[in-house]
Amino acid sequence: MEKAINSIIRALNQADATAPEWLHLLPAAEFKGVDGRGPYAAPDMDALIATFNQEGHKLAVDENHSTDLAAKQGHAAPARGWIVELQKRDDGLYGRVEWTPEGERMVAAKEYGFLSPVFLHSAAKPFKVAKLLRVSLTNDPNLADLKSLHSQEENAMLEQLRKALGLPETADEATILAAVAAAHTAQAGAAALMSRVAEAAGLATDTAPDALVTAIQSRGKVTATEAENADLKTQLASMQKQLTAIATTTAKDKAETAIDGAIQAGKIVPALRDHMISRHMKNPAEVEAEIKLLPSLNAGGLGNRKQPGADDSALTAEDNNVMAMMGIDPKAYADTAKALHGKGN
């Protein structure tokens, strides 16, 4: 547990000292500028990402539109970072940035707080964003719908905490805080138990764990009586049992959070909850990787299942992929899918 707490501290320090990795470039809905320009239609994020990937060019992150203003006057307009990947999210289009050393320093020092994207658009209103060109660091943004750089630093901190605590990407702030509190409580309990073991061994209560184990092993081999040795073994067994219980409870809490989130998203049927929780406790990384690949039953039914009136028990290629990833018996899957289809009618 001490390692978990140290990881949390490192995550907090790293998030506070570095610039965000992902930048909010465009909102998801229709938007317009503070100066009245627009309105711009809700961006087709899939099309923008496809264009970016097809062209294969990094997009510059400059200062105060220096590429469009200063450079055309013959002045320097260095990039402070490069957008190397675009990602579609619920609240808009994001870009993963590789900062230059000076760009990272400027953003981490909070010299800039906002972003201003540059893009091509159609001629008719509402204007359609056709292509993203670049983005500028600014303190006078024209788009009020984008997250500030400072708020993105907070998101980066939450992401670091999720990783340090072993939580899924869907864990919200309340879940993260609860996990931090649980880790702190577990660490305090383990420290108190180690203190009692040290005292029983006739050592200082603040003896470091490694030194405690060495001392106990040495005493067991050389000077301890059988009764003392048995007592120490009992204390150590009790400590191990409590630590195992803490680890099991933590693993189960994480598993329930991840699987319940997947059920709510329609990626796992409720009947498989206990099975998937058990699998997650044994190998969380493997299960969460599978969940990411699973289609959502909430997004238009069971994949390419036939329309009402057709054979509801027929399984599609997508169903076969789901069964293969989840290790489900085809008959059981077909029965579950048929039952779910019947409820939707």
Q: What is the DSSP string of 72-127?
A: GGT-----SEEEEEEEEETTEEEEEEEE-HHHHHHHHTTS--EEEEEEEE-SSSSB
Total of domains in the chain: 3
Q: In what order do the strands lie in the sheet with 129-138?
A: 22-27, 92-99, 81-89, 59-63, 129-138, 114-121
- How far is it, in rounded angstroms, from Cα 163 to Cα 203? 36
Helix and strand counts by DSSP (H, E) for the chain: 11, 6
Q: Tell me, what amino acid is at 265?
A: A
Give the relative orientation of helices 173-200 and 209-222 as an angle to the nearest 10 degrees. 30
Question: Last residue of some domain: 212, 241, 264?
Answer: 264
First and final C-alpha spacing in the chain = 50
Tens-digit pLDDT profile for residues 169-185: 667 667 876 777 777 67
Looking at the fold, whether 21 and 156 belong to one and the same domain comes out as yes
Question: Does the predicted TM-score (pTM) go above 0.75?
Answer: no
Q: In the predicted model, is pLDDT for residue 296 greater than 70?
A: yes
Tens-digit pLDDT profile for residues 118-139: 999 999 999 999 999 999 999 9
Question: Last residue of some domain: 165, 182, 198?
Answer: 165
C-beta neighbour count of 91 within 10 angstroms:
13
Looking at the fold, whether 110 and 186 belong to one and the same domain comes out as no
Looking at the fold, whether 229 and 290 belong to one and the same domain comes out as no
Looking at the fold, whether 158 and 42 belong to one and the same domain comes out as yes
Q: Tell me, what amino acid is at 280?
A: H
Question: Last residue of some domain: 242, 264, 286?
Answer: 264
Looking at the fold, whether 95 and 57 belong to one and the same domain comes out as yes
How many residues are there in the chain? Answer: 345
Tens-digit pLDDT profile for residues 67-98: 999 988 899 999 999 999 999 999 999 999 99
The residue range of the domain holding 118 is 2-165
Looking at the fold, whether 181 and 161 belong to one and the same domain comes out as no
Looking at the fold, whether 195 and 322 belong to one and the same domain comes out as no
Q: In the predicted model, is pLDDT for residue 154 greater than 90?
A: no
41 strand-pairing partners: none
pLDDT number for residue 302? 43
C-alpha closest to that of 337 among 249, 46, 311: 311
Looking at the fold, whether 190 and 161 belong to one and the same domain comes out as no
Looking at the fold, whether 109 and 58 belong to one and the same domain comes out as yes
State the pLDDT confidence band at 221, using cuts at 50, 70 and 90. low
Tens-digit pLDDT profile for residues 252-286: 889 999 999 899 888 888 989 999 999 999 999 99
Looking at the fold, whether 228 and 301 belong to one and the same domain comes out as no
How confident is the prediction for the chain on average, in pLDDT?
A: 79
C-alpha closest to that of 326 among 262, 264, 265, 257: 262
Looking at the fold, whether 248 and 321 belong to one and the same domain comes out as no
pLDDT number for residue 210? 75
Looking at the fold, whether 180 and 324 belong to one and the same domain comes out as no
